[in-house]
Amino acid sequence: MKRAAFYLLLAVAAATFLYPFLWMAATTFKSPAEVGALSLLPDQPTLENYRLMWARAPFGRALFNSMLVATTITLSVLVFGSSAAYALARLSFPGRGILNAVTVAVLLVPAQLTLIPMYTLIVQLGWVDSYAALIVPFALNATAILILRQFFLQVPRSLIDSARLDGMGELRILFTVFWPLAKAPLAMVGIITFMGAWNEVLWPLLVVRDEQLMTLPQLLTVFSLGGGAGPRQLATKLAAAMVLVVPVVLAYMFLQRYFIESMASTGIKG
C-alpha cells in the first residue's frame, strides 16, 4: 500500500514535468482552432504547422548550421579537452600546478562577463557572420578539462608505463588506452557540451546576422519575436521548438546509460 502511494506520488511528479512537453508536442499537430485547448489529442491532426514553419523561415538551413556547430564544438572539446586533461593529470612539466589553478579559476568567471571582450575580439578578427565565430570560442572549456582530469588521475600509473614500454607515444596512450577506459566521462562531457552548444542563443545573436548562418535556437528566437503573437503563430513556433528539442532528446536517450553512470561516479550534478 505504502509502495503504491509512493509510485502514485512519483507518477504525479513525473506528469507535472511531462504534461507541458506533451502538450507542446500535441499542439504542433493541432489546427489553429484547437491550439488553446488543454487536451493532448488533436481532433484533426495536421502537419500544417510544420509546413508553415518550414516555408516562413530557413529552418532547414538553421538545423544544418546547428548540427554542424554543435557537433564540431563537441568533437573539439572531447579531443582538446581530453588532451589538456591528460597533460594536466599525467605529465610532469613546469607550471602544471599554475595551469591547474587557472583552469579552476576560469570556472569562477561568469560567461556574461566575457561576452563583450570576446565580441570585440571576434570583430577585430573579422569573424562576424562566420562559422568560426560560432565554433572557436567554445572549442575548449574548463569543465571538460576538470571532469576528464579527475578521471585520468584514477588510471593506474602502471598502465601508462606499460603503454610506454609497448612503444606508444603520449597521444597514442591518450586515444588507445585512456579513451576506451573513459567512455562514461567522455559521454557525459560530450552530451553536456552538445546540449550547451545546441541551445546557445545569446552568442549567435551577437555575432551572426546573416539568416543563412543562423543556428536553430537563434532563428527560432528571431522568428518568435518577429513573427507576431497569437494562437495562429503559437503552433508554428512550437513546431520550430520541437525541431530544436528532438535531436537533444535523441542524443540523451542514446547516451543515458553513460550519463547516469558518469554522474554517479564523478559526483557532478547537472
Q: Which is nearer to other proteins, 56 or 257 (CB)?
A: 257
Interaction of residue 95 with other proteins, rule CB under 8 A = no
Cβ at position 73, least distance to other proteins in Å: 27
Interaction of residue 257 with other proteins, rule CB under 8 A = no
Interaction of residue 168 with other proteins, rule CB under 8 A = yes
Q: Which is nearer to other proteins, 151 or 198 (CB)?
A: 151
From the list 97-105, 123-131, 133-141, 156-164, the region that binds other proteins by CB under 8 A is 156-164
Q: Which is nearer to other proteins, 87 or 214 (CB)?
A: 87
Interaction of residue 154 with other proteins, rule CB under 8 A = no
With CA atoms as reference, report the closest residue to 115 among 95, 90, 133, 98. Answer: 133
Interaction of residue 43 with other proteins, rule CB under 8 A = no
**How far, in Å, CA of 206 to CA of 214, rounded?**
11
Q: Which is nearer to other proteins, 110 or 167 (CB)?
A: 167
Residue partners of 138: CB distance under 8 A and separation at least 6: 73, 77, 193, 196, 197, 200, 203
Binds other proteins by CB under 8 A, chosen from 180, 228, 230, 270:
180
Binds other proteins by CB under 8 A, chosen from 16, 112, 124, 158:
158
Q: Which is nearer to other proteins, 94 or 156 (CB)?
A: 156
Cβ at position 83, least distance to other proteins in Å: 20
Q: Which is nearer to other proteins, 43 or 166 (CB)?
A: 166
Q: Helices 96-108 and 59-90, interaxial angle, to 10°?
A: 140
Binds other proteins by CB under 8 A, chosen from 1, 165, 225, 253:
165
Cβ at position 167, least distance to other proteins in Å: 4
Cβ at position 181, least distance to other proteins in Å: 6
Q: What is the 3-state secondary structure (H, E, C) of the chain?
A: CHHHHHHHHHHHHHHHHHHHHHHHHHHCCCCHHHCCCCCCCCCCCCCHHHHHHHHHCCHHHHHHHHHHHHHHHHHHHHHHHHHHHHHHHHCCCCCHHHHHHHHHHHHHCCHHHHHHHHHHHHHHHCCCCCHHHHHHHHCCCHHHHHHHHHHHHHCCHHHHHHHHHCCCCHHHHHHHHHHHHCHHHHHHHHHHHHHHHHHCCHHHHHHCCCHHHCCHHHHHHHHHHHCCCCHHHHHHHHHHHHHHHHHHHHHHHHHHHHHHHHHHHHCCCC
Cβ at position 165, least distance to other proteins in Å: 5
From the list 72-80, 128-136, 175-183, 246-254, the region that binds other proteins by CB under 8 A is 175-183
Cβ at position 246, least distance to other proteins in Å: 32
**How far, in Å, CA of 140 to CA of 76, rounded?**
7
Task: Give the footprint of other proteins on this chain (CB under 8 A).
Answer: 156, 158-159, 161-168, 172, 177, 180-181
